[in-house]
Structure 1
Amino acid sequence: MIFAVAEAKGPDVGVSELARTLGMSKTVVHRVVRTLAAADFFSFDERTRRYRLGPGAVSVGLAAMAQMEVPRIAQPYLERLVASTRETATLSVRYGMQRMYLTQVLSPQEIHMSVQLGRLYPLYAGASSKAILAALDDEEIRDYLAKQPLAPLTPITIQDPERLREELEVIRSRGYAVSLGERQQGAASVAAPVYEATGRVYGSISVCGPVGRLGVGKVEEYGALVREAAAEVSRQLGHRSGDRNVRA
């Protein structure tokens, strides 16, 4: 229905036209468009009795465009991270109370990390996930920890909610998260949150590689690099460092 209105020849469309286009009865079409109009997906002109796309549809479209645009914006920063660290760099996006990898630039080294794009991961384990979780507000974190079992993904996954809360405070303080085998044995990562123009967390940028190559000194060095890269991508998305981050 929304696509039919969006693809109409004119700026607006009537119920009869929609019914003919979709091969549906006018009664059904009228009921559906009224529901969508109530949700702001359509705007209804009382004078002409015709519908056009509303602010809700526009917001969804802009959000979808942003999702497609962010990997392009992040690409040069991921490439710079790989050039600086010689490890794999990734971009993750928050998906509700989970997250997924959107894109990656692989390490040039023979032994390197490669992530699975599009797969959902929990927010309590791994640097990319914890960077996002730490960027949420306190109430949302409390709600998440109250509902989400901290099931062990590896022997060193944090399973104590209080310990995880303490870890999130450290992440907020230094600006990046660290994981040394929490989500995947033998894998290490350092990640920082990426923010939208609204101040809400979009996702995270990470550098990841074998645990043996990411020692304490490297963690601090790479942490500073991913924090800077994430801040640059956030600025490209319209976020300003002086803005109050909306952790939601």
Structure 2
Amino acid sequence: MTTTTLAERDDTRVRSGLGRALDVINIIAERAPETLGVSTIARELCLPKAVAYRILKELVADDFLSFNEDTKRYRLGAGALAVGLAALRALDVPDTARRYLVRLVRDSGETATLSVRQGWLRVYIDQVLSPHEVRMSVSLGTSHPLHSGSSSKAILAALPEVEVEEYLAQPMRSVTSATITDPLALRAELIRVRQQGYAVSMGERQSGAGSVAAAVRYGTGQIFGSISLCGPQDRFTPQVCAAHGALVAAAAHEISAELGYRVPAARSPADQD
């Protein structure tokens, strides 16, 4: 027969309570900016309402949650914000992304790159080269406009619509004969990027080069930049683009998740709390 000491039983109780409190914080974070009432929280976490209320009361007392007396709903508080900001300060995005670049090269055989957004430009800051003798390489530190190439279009497509329209209102120069400079054509291209989850370029930034890219987000939802796979255009057939596009989209999602980003949950009908 297995026995436990009082200390072990207390530790189990404390860990269980901590886990429940974290579940409450997580569900409120996932549903932000929507605020939640105790009934919704209890129902979605399968908790007795009295237990959920006790956890919420303690989290409000510690400033991890804020309670609106008028609506009787909860949102994240200053304590949660302080923890989140501390985590952001500790993040090293290139270091986080590096192992995903290595994995992309292993899985695709093509060069993987990381770009960071800087205003209406983006800059290459890292790459892992393809093992092929004939391969693509980029010049780190060089900047490129947000309409030329897959890395640029992935960033532009992920920006808020007001920023996209501001960019499209500016003159856009051709980098190669394939660069999209017509606002209507580029707007349609950005819709396609959003629908498939990654951008494709065939010689739009560099003649003879093919690439696919997806946007990377900070935990706040703001755009950090993008990751890409690139190589000679003749190797980037439609089938290869689809396969490589799925790889970069998955990697960008994982990097963003490590940076704290969570896809906003669908809003639910208001609960009756």
TM-score under structure 1 normalisation?
Answer: 0.70
- In structure 2, relative to structure 1, the CA distance for the partners of 1:185 and 1:135 (3 Å cut) is same
SS of the aligned residue for 1:198 comes to: coil
Tell me the amino acid that sits aligned with residue 159 of structure 1: T
Return the match for 2:252 from 224, 230, 237. 230
SS of the aligned residue for 1:74 comes to: helix
Deviation at 1:61, TM superposition (A): 11
The Cα offsets for residues 160-181 of structure 1, whole Å up to 9 and x where unpaired, read as 1000000001101111000000
Identity %: 52
Deviation at 1:92, TM superposition (A): 0.6
Return the match for 2:109 from 70, 73, 86. 86
Return the match for 1:184 from 203, 206, 222. 206
> How far apart in 1 are the matches of 2:174 and 2:265?
36
**Quick check: 1:104 aligned with 2:131?**
no
What residue is the counterpart of 1:169 in the other structure? 191
- In structure 2, relative to structure 1, the CA distance for the partners of 1:85 and 1:239 (3 Å cut) is same
The Cα offsets for residues 138-189 of structure 1, whole Å up to 9 and x where unpaired, read as 1111111112x22111111112100000000110111100000001000111
> How far apart in 2 are the matches of 1:72 and 1:218?
28
Deviation at 1:241, TM superposition (A): 2.4
Deviation at 1:120, TM superposition (A): 1.0
**Quick check: 1:124 aligned with 2:109?**
no
> How far apart in 1 are the matches of 2:220 and 2:206?
33
> How far apart in 2 are the matches of 1:164 and 1:227?
20
TM-score under structure 2 normalisation?
Answer: 0.64
> How far apart in 1 are the matches of 2:100 and 2:231?
17
Q: CA RMSD in A?
A: 2.0
> How far apart in 1 are the matches of 2:88 and 2:187?
30
CA contact (8 A) 1:194 1:230 kept: yes
Pick the structure with greater CA Rg: 2
Can you give the 5+ residue segments of structure 2 that lack an aligned partner in the other structure? 1-84, 267-273
SS of the aligned residue for 1:164 comes to: helix
What residue is the counterpart of 1:5 in the other structure? none
What residue is the counterpart of 2:264 in the other structure? 242
Can you give the 5+ residue segments of structure 1 that lack an aligned partner in the other structure? 1-59
5 Å-filtered alignment, 1:175-214, equals 175-214=197-236
